[in-house]
A and B are shown apart, each in its own frame.
Chain A
C-alpha cells in the first residue's frame, strides 16, 4: 500500500524530462500567485495542471482503501484539500480575467502562434461563447434600438487591463540592468530582493520566470 502512495517521478510529455510531484506543486503555486497579481492573462500552465490533477486523482484512489480515521488518510486528505484550493483559485482567477477582458484576450489570442497560446482549449471555448452571448444580449436589449452610427463602435468597448499598474515582485535570480522608471533609470535586481514596480516593465521577466509576483 505504502508503495502506491509514494511520491513518484512524473514524466513531462514532450521533453522527457523528469520532474517530481513536489516540483510540479511548487510551479503551480508560483503560477497561481503570478496569475493573481498580474493585470493581464498569463499563459496557462496546462501541463503542470494535468500532472497535478493526475497526481491528485491517483492519491484519492489510494486513500479510498484506507480507514477514514487512519492518520495517513487524514494527512493526505488535508493536503489534497490544500492543492485543490490552489488549483480552483488559479482557474477562477483566470476566468475572472477572461470575463473582464474577453474581447481583447480573444483578439490577442488570434494573433499568437499555436505554441504561444495563453488559453487552454476549454478556456478559449468559454471565452468565445461568453463573448457571443454578451454581444447578442447587447444587441437584443439595446443596440438594435440605437442609431446605426453608434452600433459600429464595438472596438471602443474593448476593456483593457492597466499594464502600468504597480505590482510587488521578488527576483528569483539576479537580473542586471532592468529599466525601472519612465526615464530609463536602470537597476540590477539581485536574487531574493523585493521591489514595487509597474507591471509592464517586468512582464517579460515574469513570463521567463526570473521574477515572482508576490
Chain B
C-alpha cells in the first residue's frame, strides 16, 4: 500500500478544532459534523480540519497526547518495555505529520514534540527490525503484532511477508523432496529440519 493511502486512512481520525465562523451542522455520508460556533471547540475528521486550517477558518486543538510530558512518558515506557507499547493513537505519525504540516503554530512547544515523536518512532522501528530478524531466524510462520500501528506495519510490508513466503516455499519443497526420497527408501535424516516455531514480534 502506498504511503499516501496510509495517510488517507489516517485522515479519517477525529480532531478538535476551534472554528472562527458560524455554520449549521453538515450531514456527511460518513456522519454529521458541526454545528460550528465561532470560538467553541468541535470535533471533525482530520481531512476537513486540514482544509479549514489552510483556509485560516479554524485553529487546531492538539490531541491530548500531543504534549511534551505525556510523550516523554510514552518514550520512557517504550524504552523499558520489551514489547511494543500501546500508542495513544493508531495513526500517531500520520496525525503528527499532517498537523505539523498545516498548523505548527497551533501546537505549543511544537519542535520538542516533533523530536520526541520521531524518537518514539525510531525506538519502535529498531525494536521492529530486531524482532523481525529474530523471527526470520527462528523460522516461524506466525507472529502476534499487537500495538503495531499501520504505518509501522507497512514499513516492513514488502520485505517481511515476502521473505516468509519464500521460506515457506523452500520448506514445502524440502518436505516434498523428503517424502519422495523416503518413498524410495533413502536415508533422509539430514534433511529433516523443517520445523516451525511460534514467536512473538
User: What is the interface of chain A, defined by CB distance below 8 A to chain B?
Assistant: 2, 5-7, 21-22, 25, 36, 52, 55-56, 59, 71-72, 74-76, 78-79, 82-83, 85, 89, 162, 164-168, 180-183, 185, 187, 193-198, 214
Of the candidates B47, B144, B165, the one whose C-beta lies within 8 Å of that of A165 is: B165
Q: Is the CB of B161 within 8 A of A214?
A: no
Assess whether B146 is in contact with A7, with CB atoms less than 8 Å apart. Answer: no
A7 pairs with B24, CB closer than 8 A: no
Q: Is the CB of A195 within 8 A of B144?
A: yes
Q: B198, A78: Cβ atoms under 8 Å? A: no
How far, in whole Å, are A56 and B153 apart by their CA atoms in the complex? 32
Other-chain contact of A75, B1, B26, B31, B171 (Cβ < 8 Å): B26
Nearest-neighbour CB distance to chain B for A74, whole angstroms, equals 8
Number of A-B contacts (CB under 8 A): 105
Judge if B148 is at the interface, Cβ distance under 8 Å. Answer: yes
- Of A71, A89, A167, A214, the contact of B150 (CB 8 Å cutoff): A214
Question: Across the interface, do A180 and B26 meet the contact criterion of CB distance under 8 Å?
Answer: no
B164 within 8 Å of A (CB atoms): yes
Residues of A within 8 A of B195 (CB): 183
A interface footprint on B20-64 (CB within 8 Å = 1, 0 otherwise): 010110111111110000000000000110010000000000000
Beyond A166-B160, A185-B198, is A196–B28 a contact (Cβ under 8 Å)? Answer: no
- A–B complex contacts, Cβ < 8 Å, 26 sampled: A5-B27, A6-B27, A7-B28, A21-B29, A52-B29, A55-B29, A71-B23, A72-B26, A74-B51, A75-B28, A76-B28, A166-B141, A168-B153, A180-B141, A181-B141, A181-B142, A181-B198, A183-B196, A187-B142, A187-B198, A194-B145, A194-B153, A196-B142, A196-B164, A197-B141, A197-B142
**CB distance B143 to A83 under 8 Å?**
no
Q: B143 contacts A195, CB within 8 Å?
A: yes
Instruction: Please measure, in the bound complex, the distance between the C-alpha atom of A198 and the C-alpha atom of B5, giving whole angstroms.
Output: 24
Q: Hey, what's the 0/1 contact readout for B127-165 against A, CB within 8 Å counting as 1?
A: 000000000000001111111101001000100110011
A201: nearest residue on chain B (CB-CB)? B142
Given contacts A7-B27, A59-B29, A164-B168, contact A195 B145 (CB under 8 A): yes
B201 at the interface (CB under 8 A from A): yes
B26–A196 contact, CB under 8 A? no
A182 and B29 in contact, given A82-B47, A214-B153 (Cβ under 8 angstroms): no
Q: Which residues of A contact B146 (CB under 8 A)?
A: 193-194
* CB pair A182 B141 closer than 8 Å: yes
B29 touches A22 (CB 8 A): yes
With contacts A193-B146, A214-B153 taken as known, whether A25 is within 8 angstroms of B29 at the C-beta atoms is yes
With both beta carbons as reference points, the residue of chain A lying nearest to B36 in the complex is identified as A71
Q: Is B29 in contact with A7, judged by CB distance below 8 angstroms?
A: yes
Q: Are B165 and A182 in contact (CB under 8 A)?
A: no
When distances are taken between beta carbons in the complex, the residues of chain B under 8 Å from A166 are 141, 160-161, 164-165, 168
Nearest 9 interchain pairs by C-beta: A166-B161, A180-B142, A194-B145, A166-B164, A181-B196, A6-B27, A21-B29, A7-B27, A197-B142
